[in-house]
Amino acid sequence: MSANPATTTPTATGAPAAPAMNLHVTEPAAGEIKKFMTSEEGLPETAGLRVRVVPGGCSGFQYSLNIEEESRQGDFILDEKGVRLFVDMFSALTEPGADRGPRAGSPRGVVDATGS
């Protein structure tokens, strides 16, 4: 999912300028995310997919995907292809320029995130 300054929104007011956040979600991944979120009963309109970088994994980091009912203060909120994504500042700053996740053609691929 690509984001431009109009759709990349850090929610903290008065915070220092944040880096731009780009995240690519493939069409098949967007469809799977939408299907999964539609199947979850009681999710509010504010719900989205949280994409996080957390300590662990063989490279020192691993990625976490969770459905959440709303964003948190300081999150980047990206919305494209009908999928709302929440990305915290730590995750946005971790490994800028790195590809994240399965490659194009993978039916489960959320991926290609870069910070710039």
Q: Has residue 13 got a pLDDT over 60?
A: no
Q: What is the DSSP string of 12-78?
A: -TTPPPPPPEEE---HHHHHHHHHHHHHSTT--TT-EEEEEEEE-STTSEEEEEEEESS--TT-EEE
Query: Residue 1 domain-assigned?
Result: no
Q: In this predicted structure, what is the pLDDT of residue 44?
A: 94
CATH number for 94: 2.60.300.12
Q: In this predicted structure, what is the pLDDT of residue 115?
A: 44
Query: Residue 68 domain-assigned?
Result: yes
Query: Residue 2 domain-assigned?
Result: no
Domain span at residue 66 reads: 21-115
More confident: 48 or 110: 48
Query: Residue 83 domain-assigned?
Result: yes
Query: Residue 48 domain-assigned?
Result: yes
Query: Residue 56 domain-assigned?
Result: yes
Q: How many domains does the chain have?
A: 1
Q: Has residue 110 got a pLDDT over 50?
A: no
Q: In this predicted structure, what is the pLDDT of residue 18?
A: 52
**Least confident interval from 17-31, 35-49, 102-116:** 102-116
Query: Residue 16 domain-assigned?
Result: no
Query: Residue 92 domain-assigned?
Result: yes
